[in-house]
């Protein structure tokens, strides 16, 4: 065992002495050492309950004959960090999460790893660490929050953000907005829709890195405690079997995860996270084009908030990810190994769809194509991303003049100042990985526009949109403005055409005009300090997953 390096032989007497100070007995030195990476914090709703889940994991590890060691890493709540400088730290923190887990495991030579986490950047950060370390690992995602209820309707965090826009336009009263604020987030868990956190939980299960049923087991449900305990038991067996992340997260497993992603219409942020995880593995290559290729083959079969009024609880009641995989079984790779030690085929053998209105059949999909589309053109030569499942039919092809902003703040001020009108295409640039820096999510402008009732407004950015975004919102434009991409050439009044069916994003400018404008463009200067400055220097573009250069 790896842990023999810190517990075997006379020369390790000092190490054992320190471990004895932690309460270890002679018998414990013969057992596998299991790390539990816990991202618990009491400022993030998705993590409030992780202490309790950690105790269940520890009980499972002890039951199976292992020794659990819990340690912690950071967790940023995107909702709280939204629409201010704090959001610059969110995506970048993914790298710190991965580095923290790597450091703790390597320094203490643990044999196995349970990754206990929730929320947007933390789950992929932990998966990056698991891939990098390649020791037996299993993931326990914290589970969704229940939806709230306001005036007889199920609501979630996005309703509050859109409520701000509606109130500013005079469409709802302050009393209704206050009620939304109090009701939308009723307790622990990752926000109740299929936003980035829950998208990544679903994809983790589809990858085979968490037990069947884990992704949609809700934070307040005892089922989540059962999954946590069983995961603790299972990791000890995985150590004995030497079943490692590289055995599970194969090229075919990533294709399964993307198939589930597009079938559900998940967050566009998955196009950053899956390539970042894959980059830590040998013989795995996940590019933007793979999302588009599979989206053309896999139909959209489940519509969850923000694309509909259904929530994660509805997906759970309909059978969860095992049921989704069962529907897709003729289109995915069934013989991949999973953390159960069994193949995906064996895992879903008895899975059933319990509500065909929530999880549709391949013969009766919501859309013939999957939920994500990759657009290229002279405005995005290396690609851009849109959640096409959440775009109205009459906006799939759209042409209009642009209003250009060099920051999210400028754009939000214009929106609430009434400067954005029906028919506009709003462009927010210099918000990419380097330009932001940190590639901020921009839920505030998108939800404000939706809340104001502006139905024919498109948004384009080299930054990111929240997993809660709906409508014609195109993000991850690459190359970004800070790398002198074509988006840096845009001026107010330029005509841009969005053609999602043809996967095109173009501006009516010649290549010479674009080059000439870029040569004359002036980039905004932003004072950046601390480790964010290092991120700005080392970050790759969005089409590469916004990972750090080696």
Active site residue 510: no
Q: Is 253 in contact with 244 (CB distance < 8 Å)?
A: no
CA 356 to chain centre: 26
Q: How far is CA 96 from CA 73, 89, 128, 130, 416, in A?
A: 8, 10, 11, 14, 35
Structure-derived torsion over alpha carbons of residues 463, 464, 469, 472, reported in degrees to the nearest 10: 50
Rounded to whole angstroms, the Cα distance separating 489 from 487 reads: 5
Q: Which helix (H) or strand (E) holds 118?
A: none
CA 316 to chain centre: 19
Count of helices and strands (H, E) across the chain: 20, 14
Neighbouring C-alpha atoms within 13 Å toward the C-beta of 85: 5
CB-CB neighbours of 175 under 10 Å: 8
Exposure string of 305-314, with b = 16+ CB inside 10 Å and e = fewer, is: bbbbebbbbb
In 207-248, the DSSP E strands lie at none
Length of the chain: 550
Q: For residue 182, give both structure tokens.
A: 């109090």
Q: For residue 18, give both structure tokens.
A: 């320190």
Residue in 199, 466, 478, 541 annotated catalytic = 466
Rounded to whole angstroms, the Cα distance separating 469 from 520 reads: 33
DSSP at 29:
G
DSSP secondary structure of 367-401? BSS-SEEEEEETTEEEEEEEEGGGS-GGGSEEEEE
DSSP secondary structure of 297-347? TS-B----TTSSS--HHHHHHTTHHHHHHHHTTTTS-TT-B-TTSSBHHHH
The alpha-carbon radius of gyration of the chain (Å, integer) is 23
Q: Is 464 in contact with 268 (CB distance < 8 Å)?
A: yes
CB neighbour class for 160 (10 Å; exposed up to 12, middle 13-18, buried from 19) = buried
Catalytic residues, by residue number, are 466
């Amino acid at each position: 065992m790896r842990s023999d390096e810190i517990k075997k032989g006379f020369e390790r007497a000092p190490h054992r002495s320190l471990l004895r100070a932690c309460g270890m007995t002679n018998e414990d030195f013969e057992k596998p050492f299991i790390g539990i990476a816990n991202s618990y914090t009491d400022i993030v709703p998705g993590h409030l309950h992780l202490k309790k889940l950690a105790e269940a994991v520890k009980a499972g590890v002890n039951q199976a004959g292992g020794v659990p060691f819990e340690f912690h890493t950071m967790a940023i709540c995107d909702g709280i960090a939204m629409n201010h400088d704090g959001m610059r730290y969110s995506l970048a923190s993914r790298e710190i999460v991965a580095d923290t887990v790597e450091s703790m495991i390597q320094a203490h030579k643990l044999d196995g790893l349970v990754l206990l986490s929730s929320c947007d950047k933390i789950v992929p950060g932990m998966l990056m660490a698991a891939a990098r370390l390649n020791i037996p690992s299993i993931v326990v995602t914290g589970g969704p929050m229940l939806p709230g209820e306001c005036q007889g309707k199920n609501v979630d965090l996005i309703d509050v953000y859109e409520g701000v826009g509606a109130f500013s336009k005079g469409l709802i009263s302050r009393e209704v907005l206050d009620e939304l604020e109090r009701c939308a987030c009723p307790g622990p868990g990752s926000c109740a829709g299929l936003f980035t956190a829950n998208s990544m939980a679903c994809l983790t299960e589809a990858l085979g890195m968490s037990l069947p049923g884990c992704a949609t087991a809700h934070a307040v449900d005892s089922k989540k405690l059962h999954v946590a305990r069983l995961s603790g038991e299972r990791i000890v067996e995985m150590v004995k079997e030497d079943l490692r992340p590289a055995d599970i997260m194969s090229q075919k497993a990533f294709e399964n995860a993307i198939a589930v992603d597009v079938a559900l219409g998940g967050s566009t942020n998955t196009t950053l996270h899956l390539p970042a995880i894959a980059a830590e593995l040998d013989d795995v290559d996940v590019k933007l084009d793979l999302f588009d290729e599979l989206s053309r083959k896999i139909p959209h079969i489940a519509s969850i908030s923000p694309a509909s009024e259904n929530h994660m609880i509805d997906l759970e009641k309909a059978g969860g990810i095992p049921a989704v995989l069962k529907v897709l079984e003729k289109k995915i790779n069934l013989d991949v190994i999973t953390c159960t030690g069994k193949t995906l085929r064996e895992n879903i053998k008895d899975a059933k769809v319990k509500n065909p209105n929530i999880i549709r059949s391949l013969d009766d999909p919501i859309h013939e194509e999957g939920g994500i589309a990759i657009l290229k053109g002279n405005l995005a030569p290396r690609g851009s991303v849109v959640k096409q499942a959440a775009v109205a039919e009459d906006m799939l092809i759209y042409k209009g003049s642009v209003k250009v902003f060099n920051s999210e703040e400028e754009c939000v001020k214009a929106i609430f100042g009434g400067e954005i009108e029906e028919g506009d295409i709003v462009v927010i640039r210099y918000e990419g990985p380097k330009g932001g820096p940190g590639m901020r999510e921009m839920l505030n402008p998108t939800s404000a526009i939706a809340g104001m009732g502006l139905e024919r407004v498109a948004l384009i950015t080299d930054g990111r949109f929240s997993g809660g975004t709906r409508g014609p919102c195109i993000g991850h434009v690459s190359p970004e403005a800070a790398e002198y991409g074509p988006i840096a050439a845009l001026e107010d009044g330029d005509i841009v055409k969005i053609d999602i069916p043809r996967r095109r994003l173009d501006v009516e400018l010649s290549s010479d005009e674009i080059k000439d404008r870029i040569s004359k463009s002036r980039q905004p200067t932003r004072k950046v300090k601390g480790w964010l400055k290092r991120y700005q220097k080392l970050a790759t573009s969005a089409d590469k997953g916004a990972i750090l250069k080696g």
